[in-house]
């Protein structure tokens, strides 16, 4: 019984992690040459669907995505290189058509903000951890001075935490 359960879990994991073929590409769009079709699929995965915006045209069922997939295949069939196809689409639709924006001066903040935010967060956590580890840091934060020996003795007497042998 346990072996069947383990086999079922293993099958689900394999199916979940296996690369899935796109359901958006229609059979009438597929090129006859497998090498050209592979190029078209790679390019389609790099281009953004203008309707869905967070999906590639390879994954989108939108009519505009289908038009773009057909346009990519048409350009490839005419002998364009991958760079020429991308350049054509960027010239026509702008750089937003790219799912992964290029690294240049206009997109510098887009690329640098996540690592800077992670670094800043790590520094803040380290400083917070150090501040909490320093003895007496809490008292100095509240503006209160540490207790004197007499005050500590009085506090112990009031709370009943006197040490045995103090004569009480």
What span, in angstroms and rounded, lies between the C-alpha atoms of 159 and 155? 6
Confidence of residue 130 (pLDDT cuts 50, 70, 90): confident
Mean residue pLDDT across the chain: 81
The region of weakest confidence among 28-32, 88-92, 102-106 is: 28-32
Query: CB under 8 Å to 85, separation ≥6 — which residues?
Result: 43, 72, 75, 76
Confidence of residue 23 (pLDDT cuts 50, 70, 90): low
Is residue 44 assigned to a domain?
yes
Residue 56: phi, psi to the nearest 5?
-80, 165
- Asked whether 29 and 73 are in contact (CB, 8 A), the reply is yes
- Asked whether 29 and 69 are in contact (CB, 8 A), the reply is yes
What does the pLDDT average to over 67-89? 92
**Which tokens in the block code for residue 63?**
């009519």
Residues 85 and 46 in one domain: yes
Residues 30 and 45 in one domain: yes
Residues 93 and 108 in one domain: no
pLDDT exceeding 70 applies to what percent of the chain? 83
Q: Where are the beta strands (DSSP E) in the chain?
A: none
Residues 72 and 123 in one domain: no
3-state secondary structure of 34: helix
Expressed as residue numbers, the domain containing 123 is: 103-129
3-state secondary structure of 66: helix
């Amino acid at each position: 019984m346990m072996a069947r359960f383990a086999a079922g879990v293993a099958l689900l994991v394999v199916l979940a992690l296996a690369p899935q073929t796109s359901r958006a590409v229609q059979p009438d769009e597929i090129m006859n040459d497998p090498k050209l079709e592979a190029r078209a699929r790679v390019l389609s995965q790099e281009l953004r669907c203008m309707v869905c915006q967070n999906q590639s045209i390879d994954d989108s069922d939108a009519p505009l995505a289908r038009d773009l997939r057909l346009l990519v295949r048409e350009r490839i069939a005419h002998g364009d290189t991958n760079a020429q196809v991308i350049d054509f689409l960027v010239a026509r639709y702008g750089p937003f058509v790219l799912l992964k924006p290029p690294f240049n001066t206009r997109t510098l903040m887009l690329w640098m903000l996540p690592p800077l935010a992670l670094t800043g967060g790590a520094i803040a956590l380290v400083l917070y951890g150090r501040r909490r580890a320093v003895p007496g840091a809490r008292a100095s934060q509240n503006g209160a001075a540490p207790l004197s020996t007499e005050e500590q003795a009085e506090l112990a007497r009031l709370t009943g935490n006197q040490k045995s042998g103090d004569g009480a």
